[in-house]
Every structure is written in C-alpha cells, then in structure tokens.
Chain A
Amino acid sequence: MAGMSIALNRFGLGARPDDSLDAEPRAWLAQQLERYVAAPRPMAGQPASGTLVAQFAAYREQISQLRKTAQPAAAPSIPSKPAAAMAPLVPQPPIVQTGDDPAEALRKQFGQQSRELYNGAVTARALATIQSPAPFAERLVHFWANHFAVSGDKMEVTNLAGAFEFEAIRPHVMGSFRDMLFAVEHHPAMLLFLDQAVSVGPNSPLAVRAGNRPNVRRNLGLNENLAREIMELHTLGVRTGYSQADVTEFARAMTGWTVAGFGRGPVAKFTGASGRPGDFVFADAMHEPGTRTILGQQWPQAGEAQAAAVLDHLATHPATARHIATKLARHFAGDDPPPKLVARLEANFRKTGGDLPSLYRTLIASPECWAPGTVKFKSPWEWSISAMRAVGTQQLQPNAVPGLMYQLGQPVWKPGSPAGWDDVAGAWAGPDAVLRRVEAAERMAQRTRDQIDPRARAAAMFPEALSPATAQSIARAESNSQGVALLLVAPEFLRR
C-alpha cells in the first residue's frame, strides 16, 4: 500500500469524498494531533454523567417505593433507616400509569428512555467520527475507549457508557496516560461497572458499625473487581508479576472510592447525600484503615491519597509501558506486533512518563507501521465508519448505527467484558461476519442511488494501492451502486 493509502486507511478511518489529500502522509497524520477536537459539534447536547446518574438513582428509588407500596411484607429489613435517606435526590419524573402495575410502566418508560439515550450517544460518536477531519485522532479515541472498556450490558452502565467516553477518554487523548487513567478510575461508569462503588473495607467505620447490629444484612464487604482490572487490563497487564495479595491489598486501598447519589441502604447514608449525583466521592466511612503493602512497597497514606499514590505508581510502571506499547503496536502494525516497534514505544513511554502524543509521533515515525500491503482486518466499527465515510454519509437515523453494529457483531460500548473487544483478525474475520458486511454494503450502496462513481471513489480511497482485481471487479459491476457495494467489501476495504 502506498504511503497516502496507509495514512488514510491504516492510521485513519478511510477517505471522505471531500478530503483534500495534498499533504505528505506523515505530516497529514501529525497535523491531526493538533487538529483534534475533544468535544466536537455532534456531541453537544449529550447529557453529562451526573444527570444520568441522578435519573437512574431516582428511577431506582421510585421502583423500590412502588414495591413497598404494593407489597408491604417485602419491605427492606434494615432497621431504623433514617427517613431522609429515602428521599429522592432529584425531582422525580412523573410516573406514567398504564394498567394496574405502575412499576412495570415505570420500567418500560425508563427502558425506552435508556434506549433513546444510548442510540443518541452512539449516533453522536458515529457522526463525529464520520465528519472528523482528524480520523487518526478519532481512531485513537476508540482505541483508548476500548482499552478502558466499560460495558453497557450492565444496567447501571447502559446510559453512562457514552458519557464515559466523552468525559474520561476524549479530553485526555492528547494528554498523558496518567491523567486518562485517573479520569477513568474516578468516573461513575467505571466505578459502577466494576463494582468499586459498593466495595467496603472490612474494618471500615461503616462495616464495624453494621457488624454491631445483629439484624443488619451482612452484604458489606470488599470487592476486588476494579482493583484487579486496573492491574490486569488498564496498567500492568496480565501475568506481569503482581500477585493475588497485591490485588487484595490494592482493593483495600481503593475502598471509599465511590459515586455520589448512587449508594443504597447504609452506603447511601454515608455517601449519598454528599456531593452532586454522579460525582466521584471519597467516602471515608467505607475506607479500610491502615498501611497497605502492594508490589513490595508500603503505602502508608491515609484516605483517598492512598489509592491515588498506588495509581500514580502504576501509571508509569515499566510493565504498564510495555503493556501499552504492545497494544498500540498491535493496533497499527499487525496482530503479532513487531518486537522492535514495541521496544521503541515502550522506551518512549518510559522516557516521557506516558505522554500520549509522543507515542503517536513514534508510531508515525516507525517504519513497521508503514509495512506495505495490509496488516489488520478491520473491526465491524472500523469497517462501518470507513464505509460511511466512503459514501459521504451526512446524517444518520437514530437507530441506524446501533442497529448496524449489533448486526455486524460489535454493539458499541457493549463488549461484554472489561477487556474490551479483541484487536486481532481472528475475532472478526469469520464467514458469517464477512457475509453480513456484504449484506450491509449492498444496502448502504443502494442508498447512494447511483450518485457515486465507484471507480473514482476506489482510486481516491486507495491511492496507488488499489489491486487490479478489485479495480476490475468494480469496473465490471452492473450498476454504480453495485460497484460501490463491491468497493465496500473489496479485500483492501475489509483490511487496513
């Protein structure tokens, strides 16, 4: 693949009909690091996570109230719960009464609202990407959002996944790894997704107090989920020398990191009232007191500073540098990342302490990323976005992209696991997956109504890199739109 074609497709997300490509490929990519906009126009109007958390908390409170009214016998067993803790934190939306089950009606209404919010956020993401003059930078946003994946399969997270990317990832893509890490681990979506918000130190004031009451539900305890994934997925990487004891100790240090306006029962009593809903709060009452031993070091700090100090350490740890270098190299130079490239990125990370634009510039300058031909099989997201860029999509129906991504097997922000989507061909290059792309391509191409000359489009998308076989297939198509469909599923288009 010639240089500009690699810049457009491997680094970027495919050409748009209105792209002007007169720059030198490496310069074009470097300019994008400056041109990147953290909050592009399509994202204006997306609700902030605080609003979403407040809505969810209010909804859950209403459901529980309705349950109590309907079945007094099933009331929660926590005694002497102060009435104040039960008051909703935000004005309640009106309950739509349909039939004789208001809880069901409320559930439906909330479900509908959630779907609309999700569709809106996915569409905003897609539009921003399709329209972006800095597709390399947008690719990096998606890379980091997948590295720090939250999954909207979990109900509390469904509405928050978009806000997570907009608030915790986008502002830091051109900053430092450390700042992005801190933003991510403080965000309500992550704290809720990996259960940090309900993790309570066994010797914290809250647990001790609850333990003195014989009738209290004993569900207050440590949850290691986020602590483990920070080490395994976000920073050090799996099997890099940390132990189970390190995870448990880190989880103890993390106790108290929670979300305002979200806790239930006794947790709410200590945390819910303080801070705006959705804000990160440190709840001292949940924090496990004492010095921790993690990765062979003592961490004597008190309160919130303890986990923050550990996180700072992890952010610049050599294992983290290697982990991030490997993932970036895999994303830009092939499923089996070239060791020399990994080493170069790792050294750069360690030298700068995790300055992200420096890593990106290293990628641009590395010959391994400019290997001729194609080195990656596009994920459904990459393929869909590049297809929509290729046909010059301007507007999207609210459910178009969410629906397409479900059909192609990569529902946005729903990887189902904190590990995110796999970044290797094996995850995407299957018979049915390719057939679905062909089906989607035909439908997309039909909508172009023969307004695109696929021969010219193909030449513009793959300058000096279009294979004769593809060019011939497109040229022989029975119609312009069939030629567009063939372009969208050509071997060069399925890969980058």
Chain B
Amino acid sequence: MMLHRRQLLAAGATALMVSPLGARMAFAAAPTERRFVFLIQRGAADGLGIVAPVGDPAYAGARGDLAGDFASAPKLDGMFALHPAMPNTLGLYRAKQALFVHAVASPYRDRSHFDGQNVLETGGVSAYQLKDGWMNRLLRLLPEGDKAIALAAAVPMALRGSVEVASYAPSSLPEASDDLLARVTAMYEGDKQLHPLWQEAMATRMLTGDLGSDGGKKAADTGTLAAKLLSAPGGARIAMIETGGWDTHSGQRGRLGGQLKGLDAMVAALRAGLGPHWDNTLVVVATEFGRTVKANGTGGTDHGTGSVAMLLGGAVQGGRVQADWPGLGDAALYEGRDLKPTTALDVLIASAVSSHFALAPARTAKALFPAMTTAAGMEGLVRG
C-alpha cells in the first residue's frame, strides 16, 4: 500500500493504518503504548568512525587520517568517543537515553551489501533463507491494534510478511523498488549503452540518499514525519526508516560527517515530534556490516564485519557503551582486516525488543531469529 503525503495528512494517520490480513497471534494482553523504530543504515556504516575506540592503543595507528575527526570529539567513557557531528545523540547519552553496543554483527560473514541486508532484515543466518522479515514476525506477537509503517517507497524486507504494512515515501519521486531495479538490470544486460549507464546508476545509488546533503533538513523532516505517524491515536506503533549513503569507500571523513549530522537531526526531530511518547520509545540503529579498520587508498574504508549499533530513546537504559572489546591490534582483527564481532546483533535486537514490549524473551527470540544460537539474552537494555 502506497500513500501520498497529502492523502495521508488529510485522512489523519489512523486512516492509513493497515488491515491485518495474516494470522496474528497476540501474546501480549493489552495494546501497548510502547513505540519501536528500526533505523537501517544501508551501505555498511563504519562503526569505528561513529563511536571511536580512541582509548585503544592501536586505534590512532590503524585509523590514520580517519582519526582526525576525533581529536576533540566528546568522550563517552575511558575508551570511546562519539563523532562530533552528533550533538543531539550526545545529549541523549548524557541523559542516559542512548546506549551504544560495539563490535556487533549479524550472523552474516561475507561482504555483499545485498546479502548482508537480507540477513539483517529477514533475521536468518544466510541470505534468502527466510522469506519474511523479523519486524513483520514481531507484529504477529503484538496486540491486534498495533500497526507498522515503513518510511520508504516500498515495504522493506524487514517488514514484509503476512501482516500487511503501509509504506510512505517522503520524496516526491520515490526510489524505485529493488525488485523492479533488479529486473531493469537484467533487461539492460545486453544493451551496450544502457548497461554501463545502469551499472553506474546502481553503484551511485548505494551512496546516495545522503542524509547530510542538505544540512540534514530532509533527514529531520523524515524524523518529524515518523514521529507524527507514531504519535497519532490508534496510529502506528512500529516504524522502519531506511537510510542510505553509508558506503564510504572514498572521502569518508566529509561524507560520514554529513551522514551523521543528518542522522543526528533525524533523531532529534523524532524525539521532539514524539513529545511525551519519547519516554516509551526504543529506536534501534543498525547496519548490515562494518568497514575495514584501516583506511584504503582513497580516504575511505572497504566492506568489513563488526560495527556499532545504537539503542536510543526514553525507554533505553543508556548512558554507556557496551562492548566486549576485541581490540584493534593486527592479531585481534577478523580475517586480519575487520573489527571482530563479539556481540550478536540478533541477540541484541531480540533482547531489547522483547523487554521493550514485555514479551517472553525466548519465544520472541525464536520468532524473530529462528536460527539464533546464543541462548542467553542481554539484560538491562531497556527500562522495564
């Protein structure tokens, strides 16, 4: 279901909400006031460039010029500092409403964006193993009245499944759906003019959706819109926001700074727009995988493994960086190049979401991430 902004606002947010078609089992007894936002960073965000382990003795040497942004960056604790482009997020951290979990990764261990995003969104252990998304399966665990919306042109994988979900794209010409793009790719395969053009367009697309391109204004608008949809009485309680532009193979410092500025503006707008609902809100920010520890030859970083995830919101038991820190020394790196993941992203998400919605942890984990191997959940992520 696609909605245009005007229809949406004219009808009031309740009108756009979905009619559940699929079977939906209600595990929780009463409709919840809790809000949950999953913000995906498509393109592999560089966790080390967002929450930097400045206290790691190998950090400065490994990062070289990329460490420059952290010369005067605000310290989060004895080990970590936050990128200076995120003052609002820093404010949340100081108010104990932001929790950073470092050296995390999904079960995916290769380095393809598409496969990595598919694993992150479906909640499987390998790409295309599951046909629906973990957020859609989460909906089935929630009270009947709880609804979800995607702030994207088409419903992203994480929200696809038997429960119908609305999507809404803020831009006037929304990005085409991935399926159509894949079919266009195949159709242009044999065309010697269109094939290279299209390859370039697809490569560029990974880098666009720049959150910071207009000083974060569009990003803030998206945050405001999401807040409006989540605040409406009877409106959505779950939202997914897609962001792109994290694939910083070159000129990372400027681009990542812009991206983070946009993300920070989006979070600030979300918080402002939610008002009192912010206290009941959990925002999870995560990416498909991280980036190489060392810079490449073009001032950027290449596809890696471990990254950082953020839990933001009034419901978060924050004010700390949680990490079983593997270290950045050469011997400590995954495959000699990437931050070694020491925390499972699926465990983090399952634990945070189940306690946020007061769902049975084991059952939730099994529904969202059926192949999850770690039995022990993480405690103390969200206020009860």
Q: Residues of A contacting B189 with CB < 8 Å?
A: 469
User: Least Cβ distance of A478 to chain B in Å?
Assistant: 7
Cα A39 to Cα B314 with chains together (Å): 64
Cα A476 to Cα B183 with chains together (Å): 9
Q: Is the CB of A438 within 8 A of B184?
A: yes
Q: Which residues of B (89-142) have their CB < 8 Å from a CB of A? A: none
Choose one: A429, A431, A443, A490; the contact of B173 (CB below 8 Å). Answer: A443
Choose one: A432, A434, A473, A489; the contact of B186 (CB below 8 Å). Answer: A473
Answer yes or no: B201 CB below 8 A from chain A CBs: yes
Cα A430 to Cα B194 with chains together (Å): 9
Q: Is the CB of A434 within 8 A of B194?
A: yes
Q: Residues of B contacting A403 with CB < 8 Å?
A: 172
* Known A436-B173, A442-B177, A482-B180; contact A431-B200, beta-carbon cutoff 8 A: yes
Q: Which residues of A (479-496) have their CB < 8 Å from a CB of B? A: 482, 485-486, 489-491, 494
Q: Is the CB of A439 within 8 A of B184?
A: no
Choose one: A435, A440, A470, A490; the contact of B205 (CB below 8 Å). Answer: A435
Cα A446 to Cα B204 with chains together (Å): 25
User: Least Cβ distance of A376 to chain B in Å?
Assistant: 12
Q: Residues of B contacting A435 with CB < 8 Å?
A: 176, 198, 201, 205
Answer yes or no: B79 CB below 8 A from chain A CBs: no
User: Least Cβ distance of B177 to chain A in Å?
Assistant: 7
User: Least Cβ distance of B381 to chain A in Å?
Assistant: 38
User: Least Cβ distance of A383 to chain B in Å?
Assistant: 13
Cα A343 to Cα B2 with chains together (Å): 54
Label chain B's interface by main secondary structure. Answer: helix
Proximity string of chain B (228-260) to chain A, C-beta cutoff 8 Å, 1 when within and 0 when not:
000000000000000000000000000000000
Q: Residues of B contacting A486 with CB < 8 Å?
A: 180, 183-184, 187
Q: Is the CB of B174 within 8 A of A491?
A: no
Choose one: A425, A436, A438, A490; the contact of B180 (CB below 8 Å). Answer: A438
Q: In chain B, what residue has the closest Cβ to A477?
A: B183
Proximity string of chain B (329-342) to chain A, C-beta cutoff 8 Å, 1 when within and 0 when not:
00000000000000
Q: Which residues of B (174-213) have their CB < 8 Å from a CB of A? A: 174-177, 179-181, 183-184, 186-191, 193-194, 197-198, 200-201, 204-205
Q: Residues of B contacting A291 with CB < 8 Å?
A: none
Q: Is the CB of A491 within 8 A of B204?
A: no
Q: Is the CB of B173 within 8 A of A440?
A: yes
* Known A439-B176, A478-B179; contact A490-B187, beta-carbon cutoff 8 A: yes
Q: In chain A, what residue has the closest Cβ to B198?
A: A434
Answer yes or no: A407 CB below 8 A from chain B CBs: yes
Choose one: B175, B177, B194, B200; the contact of A491 (CB below 8 Å). Answer: B194
Q: Residues of A contacting B174 with CB < 8 Å?
A: 439, 443
User: Least Cβ distance of B131 to chain A in Å?
Assistant: 14
Q: Which residues of A (428-473) have their CB < 8 Å from a CB of B? A: 429-432, 434-436, 438-443, 446, 469-470, 473
Q: In chain A, what residue has the closest Cβ to B201?
A: A431
Label chain A's interface by main secondary structure. Answer: helix
User: Least Cβ distance of A374 to chain B in Å?
Assistant: 10
Q: Is the CB of A442 within 8 A of B172?
A: no
Cα A407 to Cα B175 with chains together (Å): 12
**Chain B: interface size category:** 20 to 34
Q: In chain A, what residue has the closest Cβ to B199?
A: A431
Q: Residues of B contacting A476 with CB < 8 Å?
A: 183
From A403, A432, A436, A439, residue with most partner B Cβ within 10 Å: A439
Q: Residues of B contacting A430 with CB < 8 Å?
A: 197
Choose one: B173, B180, B194; the contact of A485 (CB below 8 Å). Answer: B180
Q: Is the CB of B186 within 8 A of A494?
A: no
User: Least Cβ distance of B171 to chain A in Å?
Assistant: 9
Cα A478 to Cα B178 with chains together (Å): 13
Q: Is the CB of A482 within 8 A of B173?
A: no
Q: Residues of A contacting B184 with CB < 8 Å?
A: 438, 486, 489
Choose one: B179, B194, B200; the contact of A482 (CB below 8 Å). Answer: B179
Q: Residues of A contacting B204 with CB < 8 Å?
A: 431-432
From A473, A477, A478, residue with most partner B Cβ within 10 Å: A473
Cα A485 to Cα B153 with chains together (Å): 15
Proximity string of chain A (35-52) to chain B, C-beta cutoff 8 Å, 1 when within and 0 when not:
000000000000000000
* Known A436-B173, A482-B180, A489-B184; contact A494-B194, beta-carbon cutoff 8 A: yes
Q: Is the CB of B187 within 8 A of A491?
A: yes
Cα A434 to Cα B204 with chains together (Å): 12
* Known A434-B194, A491-B187; contact A442-B205, beta-carbon cutoff 8 A: no
Q: In chain A, what residue has the closest Cβ to B175?
A: A439
Q: Residues of A contacting B177 with CB < 8 Å?
A: 442
* Known A407-B173, A439-B173; contact A434-B201, beta-carbon cutoff 8 A: yes
Choose one: A377, A443, A473; the contact of B183 (CB below 8 Å). Answer: A473
Cα A438 to Cα B194 with chains together (Å): 12
User: Least Cβ distance of B362 to chain A in Å?
Assistant: 37
Q: Is the CB of A434 within 8 A of B180?
A: no
Q: In chain B, what residue has the closest Cβ to A446?
A: B2
Q: Residues of A contacting B173 with CB < 8 Å?
A: 407, 436, 439-440, 443
* Known A431-B204, A443-B173; contact A438-B187, beta-carbon cutoff 8 A: no
Choose one: A407, A431, A473; the contact of B197 (CB below 8 Å). Answer: A431
User: Least Cβ distance of A377 to chain B in Å?
Assistant: 8
User: Least Cβ distance of A454 to chain B in Å?
Assistant: 12
Q: Is the CB of B183 within 8 A of A434?
A: no
Cα A431 to Cα B191 with chains together (Å): 14
Q: In chain A, what residue has the closest Cβ to B190?
A: A469
A-binding residues in B (CB < 8 A) = 2, 172-177, 179-181, 183-184, 186-191, 193-194, 197-198, 200-201, 204-205
Q: A442-B180, A469-B187, A491-B194 are in contact. List 17 more A-B contacts (CB 8 A).
A: A377-B193, A425-B193, A432-B201, A432-B204, A434-B198, A435-B176, A435-B198, A435-B205, A441-B176, A442-B177, A473-B186, A476-B183, A477-B183, A478-B179, A486-B187, A489-B184, A491-B187
- Can you report 28 residue pairs joining A to B where beta carbons are below 8 Å apart? A425-B193, A429-B194, A429-B197, A431-B201, A434-B194, A434-B197, A435-B201, A435-B205, A436-B173, A438-B176, A438-B180, A439-B175, A439-B176, A441-B176, A442-B176, A442-B180, A446-B2, A473-B183, A473-B186, A476-B183, A478-B179, A485-B176, A486-B180, A486-B183, A486-B184, A489-B184, A489-B187, A491-B194
Those 3 A-B pairs whose CB atoms lie nearest each other, nearest first: A431-B201, A431-B200, A473-B187
